[in-house]
Amino acid sequence: MLSILKQWIMTGNLSEQITVNNNGKVEAAYKTFSRIKDINPRTRKALSRSLLIRHLDTGSCNAEEAEILALSNPIYDITRFGIDFTASPRHADVLTVSGPVTRHLKIAMERTYEAMPEPKIVVAIGDGACTGSLYNKTYACLGKVDQFIPIDIYIPGDPPSPTQILEGLLLCKMLLAEKEKKNG
């Protein structure tokens, strides 16, 4: 117990500053406890909400999964933004998809999408999901994701770095607020 406490005190807070790119301009740089300054009230309200994510691997090379998992380490510490991963698509606001769609996972992917409540946001992470990447169409690989389900945000990269993924997820919050406003 004491050793855990010692490690905790010795290591300290390692979380890093993240910049949010809103409408083309870098609006805010906010640190550990999400203290948002100089940001317009609407964006601020959208960012202050929580977001639950369900991740879906549709045939990626597991580099994307490693980078998404890295988001939960203390350096990126995704929970300080109110973002967390959920076990079921029925609780999720956002579905993140990585990798080109394989034949064996097409049905599972469509079912996961259907199981999500409205409004749905789908994020394609990595070149595989965005464009199909260098994987040609084969008997088992069907290519990019937006042929099958609509995608709201693309985060390209081979794989995208955790910071890029985090930026994309913060953008999801604003998109979610917009979608809810539209739906009334």
Give the residues lining the site for other proteins (CB under 8 A).
3-4, 7-8, 10-11, 14, 55-70, 72-76, 85, 87-89, 99-100, 102-108, 112, 133-141, 158-159, 161
Compute the least distance from the CB of residue 140 to other proteins, in Å.
Answer: 4
Compute the least distance from the CB of residue 31 to other proteins, in Å.
Answer: 18
- Rounded Cα gap, residues 28 and 20, in angstroms: 6
- Rounded Cα gap, residues 25 and 165, in angstroms: 18
Nearest 5°: the CA angle 130, 78, 48 is 100
Contact 157, 63 (CB under 8 A): no
Nearer to other proteins, 39 or 70 (CB): 70
Helices within the chain (DSSP H only): 2-11, 41-47, 63-70, 106-115, 127-131, 162-183
Nearer to other proteins, 43 or 96 (CB): 96
Phi, psi angle pair for 163, to nearest 5° = -65, -45
Nearer to other proteins, 57 or 152 (CB): 57
Q: What are the tokens at 181?
A: 């406003």
Compute the least distance from the CB of residue 10 to other proteins, in Å.
Answer: 8
For 4-55, the DSSP string reads HHHHHHHH------EEEEETTEEEEEE-TT----S--HHHHHHHTS-EEEEE
Nearer to other proteins, 53 or 170 (CB): 53
Nearer to other proteins, 126 or 176 (CB): 126
